[in-house]
Structure 1
Amino acid sequence: MVGMDERMTPADSPALEADASFERFDAGRATPAALVSGEVAAEDAAHPLSLFDMFRIGIGPSSSHTVGPMRAGRAFAVELADLDTAADPDRAPARIAIDLFGSLGATGRGHSTDRAVLLGLAGYAPESVSINEVESLLPTIAATARLPLSGGGTIPFDIASDIRFIPRTRLPYHVNALTLTAWRRKGTCTRGEEHSSGGEGEDAVPSNSELHGLHPSAEREEQIILKRTYYSVGGGFVMVHTTEDPLGVESLAAGQAALNMDVPAPHPFTTGAELLSACEASGYSVAELVRRNEEAVRPRKELDDYLDLIANTMFECVDAGTSTSGILPGGLDVPRRAQGLATRLFEGTSSSAGVPASGSPWVCAPEDPMRAMDWVTLFALAVNEENAAGHRVVTAPTNGAAGVIPAVLGYLVLYCPEAGADRGTPSAPSGLGRASAPLKHMRIGVHPIREEQEDSASLLSQAALRRRHAVHEFLLAATAIGALIKTNASIAGAEVGCQGEVGSASAMAAAGLAQALGGTPEQVENAAEIAMEHSLGLTCDPVAGLVQIPCIERNAIAAVKAIHAARMALWSDGRHMVSLDVVIETMRQTGNDMLSKYKETSEGGLAVNVVEC
């Protein structure tokens, strides 16, 4: 294990001085997030990242360490299946090896990165894989020593030797790197011939040529039929090496990539200032402006259907979390709390903490105005417990921060008249289902809601129509903020710490709530700025590499913060001293200056101070 004062060393970089930062901020250097944004740029105008990019359905516990590697594995399997093995049987794969570098190597076991890559190689997609398949594949491979491939058939696979965790090596482009290698059927070389290793897989430093399957000797090159290095840069985005240049990468197909991106966005923006200028010039709200950009490349119905799908998946995740008890996987024995909290919130007003020495338990009165925040806490806990269990969640914008936006959406649909909620007491918000499924009756309909389609309004109650419209407005505005953060900084904990994950989610949720409650573009931008400003410096130091401590509770805190940020912005006129652009840039610089042990390596902070037993 890396010592507390050591730093991860990039593969192609000299050793750092003892008092040097791991990576100094360089305003002229393109970040991985900026390159991802460039991948979806139109020819004549910037095309912001899409709602289809910022919100994706997948499995837990991590978008960068689970969803991204799973997509990489699937892409590798598809490319492998495309090889003409029928014409040349010798090109059929006999063995596949997986190398996980940097943060993937450091916390990959806790994040189930190994299982995710194997699921991808077997042909499963994070959007559609069943939970039964997720939980059964690894035991099946271990029992049979065979790996099923998406192209058909199986190959020998030894989990212990064919998957290597290499935390001490950081590849040049990004800290979340994995290399997949397939060997031919005949004359396969041994695993040890590929990389020199400094004990237990540490300090292996592949050359640039090795990253692309080009090896020093022709004999070795003949043994390999396919080798690819992928980078999971956060939020499920994956980049793949394409050239000899260490930074020569391109994105795997994303939400926008399959569309006709030669169609310029009608209202392009790459900064918060440009977003506000575009809103002023067009007269649109932030949500409407994002909608117009989306509809330039896809039908309105497709957009509305996806908005419904995302919202309903979030609500279903809340209900799944509140109906499940037990211990979360991973070895920390963290108990699920959402189900018990839901029951107590429905049943009464007394705390579960027991009777103190004074004999008087803490009591939360039904009229307590903070009771609404108890429900917000519940929703966030429920989602993040589902994520920690490896179940279905919406990446928003990452899995580690997946509970923030659903929790604030729950507040919107249950407590805000603007979203069709009836005014009720905080202890009994309108529309709640039973304790095990509090948002069961909050599902979003599938009928048109726009003004020119009012003849369909009779198909839904007016409250349901308002709720659907408010939820759509929320998600569209949140998309704009998430796109700005990912384009100009990062949403990856391994790159900038938790400020990029939970901080980004809190900013997106604050902006979405401000929009749904009728905020101006200036107020929406202000809400995002407030939430992000007060998330600066958050470290990513998960105990045991699991997305449990402090991640689950941190989502609840960030959700409450987002609500307060939105309300602060709505009570003002939107004018403020610190702009969203400045805060995003500050977050980027802070992340660059942050030691790697505080960026999803489990080598500092809580990860080394909490006893794992």
Structure 2
Amino acid sequence: MFLSVFDLFKVGIGPSSSHTVGPMIAAKAFLVNLENAGKLQDIVAIEISVYGSLALTGHGHATDRALLLGLAGHDPATIDPDTIDACIETIRNRNELKLLGRRRIAFDEKQHVNFQMDKLLPHHSNGMEFLAFDSKGELIAREVFYSVGGGFVVSEKELGSNYPAPPQLPVPYPFENAEELLATCRQHDLRIADLMLANEVALDKKKKVLARLDHIHGIMEACIDRGCAQTGILPGGLKVQRRAKKLYGDLQAGMEKQLRDPAIIMDWINLWALAVNEENAAGGRVVTAPTNGAAGILPSVLRYFDRFYNQKGQDGIRTFLLTAAAIGSLYKKNASISGAEVGCQGEVGVACSMAAGGLAAAMGGTNEQVENAAEIGMEHNLGLTCDPVGGLVQVPCIERNAMGAIKAVDAARLALRGDGRHMVSLDRVIETMRQTGRDMQEKYKETSKGGLAVNMVEC
């Protein structure tokens, strides 16, 4: 199964790819399916139930808002974040929904959106059930979706044994694990980034692929810059103060001092990661990399590379992104990138691994050094729990991105000092992460029932 760069890097809105982006996509997909079946005009009522982690942390992750936006026909990649509050307020004040922006129905959110805190659907903690009814109260359609991390959504039908497997995309260099990836690169004398680009170009024109990569980079850069310019309190009730703008000002004001501080670059990397994740927490536009909760790591490490090492312009940036996506696809295919499934090792841990590999490649590392960097990045995030305080992607998530970015840089530098030979392979560390996530207690998987979420003293 080939996963595109653009499967891993999606433009969306905060605060969560699994709890915000996924539900918005699912809600819209439910109605589009009914429209395609000629049944949209028959709908007079809709009921939604969300389960597991979606229910337990859904209000803090804006799942309720995302569902309304999806039913109204909005898409996370294109919606203007500045219009969201007004859209939600209109729906709630009028108790009315305009399905896909066309058909009006009565809609009382308290009655029609149910958070099933103590129930789970069978396939994943992030389950959603959609029901549509006609004027006689008869059920028109029922559909179940799962938001499985990184904005990926699958339906219950797609998970069924009788559902046909999706067609394999015709790429020249398929791979299922790191061993196959490295072997294919050796056989054809390719860098990992070259292999990924060749696969992408087999599916679309090269000019378009490169333009999309540059667009992803542009969104990442814009998110950092916006985060560095904003002030105020993040929404949600924890009263978390934005810090990025003050840190940015302090760093700009202390240029002379920076010349005497060899570790100052860590402050800049921290700043860029904090800026992105403050934007994410505020519901701004971010790139899933591979998730929203971990969205600050790749952009900050990529800016570090671009500002201090990049001598190849856009080619260097594209090498970083293509390589990072190849690594991310290995985790998606062989383990998970969902905090609700494997804890934060599947989000911040995977992002750290992706950024480490991408940086090693962009700095001229061999494929073996890239694989080593990616392995180091995950090995030292194994067992990382997902325990958001108040169900919000703020504490410890924002600082955790800064720490993940620093770890990624260190992992790449360690790998580049070696020759690529190391004890633990990337495939083995991915399998270890999967097993660790399976064994982790459920309360540490994005439920806000364990860890910091229950031990932080409220002021």
Deviations 1:40-82 (A, max 9, x none): x3xxxxxx21101010000000111010110001101212333
Paired AA for residue 180 in structure 2? E
Q: Residue in 2 aligned with 1:382? A: 275
Residue of structure 2 in register with 1:482 after alignment: 328
Task: Report the TM-score, using the length of structure 1 for normalisation.
Answer: 0.73
Q: Are positions 1:225 and 2:118 aligned together?
A: no
**Partner of residue 107 from structure 1, selected from 31, 34, 57:** 57
Match of residue 271, structure 1, among 159, 164, 177 = 177
Partner in structure 1 of residue 347 of structure 2: 501
- Per-residue CA deviations over 1:101-129 (Å, capped at 9, x if unaligned) read 01101100000001111111100000000
The match for 2:211 is 305
SS in 2 for 1:242: helix
Call closer, same or farther: CA 1:563–1:553 in 2, change over 3 Å: same
Within 1, Cα distance between the matches of 2:178 and 2:80?
39
Is the Cα–Cα contact under 8 Å of residues 502 and 554 in structure 1 kept in the other structure? yes
Q: Which amino acid aligns with 1:409?
A: L
1:171-320 matches, within 5 Å, as 171-186=121-136, 188=137, 223-242=138-157, 264-320=170-226
Query: Per-residue deviation at 1:266?
Result: 1.3
Aligned to 2:96: 146
1:550 paired with 2:456, answer: no
Deviation sequence 1:292-311 (CA, Å, 0-9, x none):
11111111011100110000
SS of the residue 2:313 aligns to: helix
Distance 1:133 1:227 in 2: 30
Cα deviation, residue 540, structure 1: 0.1
The residue identity in structure 1 corresponding to 2:197 is R
Matches within 5 A, 1:34-53: 41=1, 48-53=2-7
Task: State the SS of the aligned residue for 2:146.
Answer: strand
Distance 1:84 1:275, change over 3 A: closer
Equivalent-residue separation in structure 2 for 1:133 and 1:83 (angstroms): 30
**1:599 paired residue number:** 445
Q: What aligned pairs does 1:117-132 form with structure 2 within 5 A after superposition? A: 117-132=67-82
1:386-429 Cα shifts (integer Å, max 9, x gaps): 0000110000000000000000011011111xx13xxxxxxxxx
1:71 to 25, 41, 61: 25
Q: Report the counterpart of residue 580 of structure 1 in structure 2.
A: 426
Question: What is the CA deviation profile of residues 245-280 of structure 1, one whole-angstrom value per residue up to 9, with x for unaligned ones?
Answer: 8676789xxxxx8xxx65532111111111110111
The 1:500–1:262 alpha-carbon spacing in structure 2 relative to 1, beyond 3 Å, is closer
Between Structure 1 and Structure 2, whose CA radius of gyration is higher? 1
Deviations 1:284-335 (A, max 9, x none): 0111111111111111011100110000100000000001000000010000
Q: In 2, distance between residues paired with 1:95 and 1:400?
A: 33
Deviation readout 1:409-452 (Å, 9 max, x if unpaired): 11011111xx13xxxxxxxxxxxxxxxxxxxxxxxxxxxxxxxx
**More displaced 10-residue stretch of structure 1: 296-305 or 396-405:** 296-305
Match of 2:284 in 1: 391
Matched letter for residue 124 of structure 1: H
User: Paired residue for 1:56?
Assistant: 10
Gaps of 5+ in 2: none
Query: How far apart, in 2, do the equivalents of 1:611 and 1:388 lie?
Result: 21
Match of 2:212, SS state, is: helix
Distance 1:262 1:105, change over 3 A: closer
Paired residue secondary structure (2:395): coil
Distance 1:263 1:325, change over 3 A: closer
CA contact (8 A) 1:95 1:183 kept: yes
> Which runs of 5 or more residues in structure 1 are unaligned?
1-40, 42-47, 189-222, 252-256, 351-363, 421-465
- What is the SS of the residue equivalent to 1:234? coil
Partners of 1:312 and 1:82 in 2: how far apart?
35
SS of the aligned residue for 1:374 comes to helix
How many residue pairs were aligned?
459
TM-score by length of 2: 0.97
Structure 1 residue aligned with 2:234 = 328
What is the CA distance between 1:151 and its match in structure 2? 5.6
Q: Is the 8 A contact 1:60 1:387 kept in 2?
A: yes
Please give the alpha-carbon distance, in whole angstroms, between the structure 1 residues aligned to 2:255 and 2:162: 59
- Asked whether the 8 Å contact 1:490–1:496 carries over to 2, the reply is yes
Q: How far apart are the structure 2 equivalents of 1:344 and 1:263?
A: 49
What is the match of residue 249 of structure 2? 343
In structure 2, the CA distance between the partners of 1:85 and 1:579, relative to structure 1 (3 Å rule), is closer
Counterpart Cα distance in 1 of 2:306 and 2:125: 39
Aligned residue in 1 for 2:379: 533
| 2:48 equivalent to 1:98 | yes
The code of the aligned residue for 1:101 comes to Y
Partner of 1:373: 266
CA contact (8 A) 1:172 1:247 kept: no
Q: Tell me by how many angstroms 1:592 deviates.
A: 0.2
Alpha-carbon contact 1:240-1:249 (below 8 Å) kept: no
Structure 1 or 2: more helix by fraction: 2
- Given residue 178 of structure 2, which amino acid in structure 1 is its aligned partner? G
Residue of structure 2 in register with 1:215 after alignment: none
Q: How far apart in 1 are the matches of 2:82 and 2:331?
A: 35
User: C-alpha displacement at 1:553, in angstroms?
Assistant: 0.2
| Alignment partners' CA distance in 1, 2:163 and 2:61 | 25
